[in-house]
Amino acid sequence: MIAILVSSGLFVITPVKDREDKLRYLLNFAGITSHAYYAGLFLADFILFTIPCALVVALAYACKIEAFINNSGEIFLSLTMFGLGFL
């Protein structure tokens, strides 16, 4: 849960900075559609989000927490799906 709270601030910074620096206009001028821009941004944010989720599960294995070890797939999936709301 802490990984979700720590990483959720990362997702807002990039689109705001791109708009302030007029990067989206430059990409549009270069022929990149807004769908491609947002799809790439989503994919990058999703990868950045799954890293803390995987670390939570890995640390649970390292600490030998029974609830995490027995249900690691479900917990990782729950953390990842819950995080889609932040993206």
What pLDDT tens digit does each residue of the chain (87 aa) get? 444 445 555 666 777 777 788 887 777 788 888 888 888 888 888 887 788 878 888 888 888 888 777 877 888 788 777 766 665
- The model carries a pTM of 0.62
User: Cβ contacts of residue 56 below 8 Å, gap of 6+?
Assistant: 3, 75, 79
38, two tokens: 């947002």
Give, in order, the Cα–Cα distances in Å from 36 to each of 40, 41, 81.
Answer: 6, 8, 22
Structural domain that includes position 10? 2-83
Q: How many folded domains does the chain comprise?
A: 1
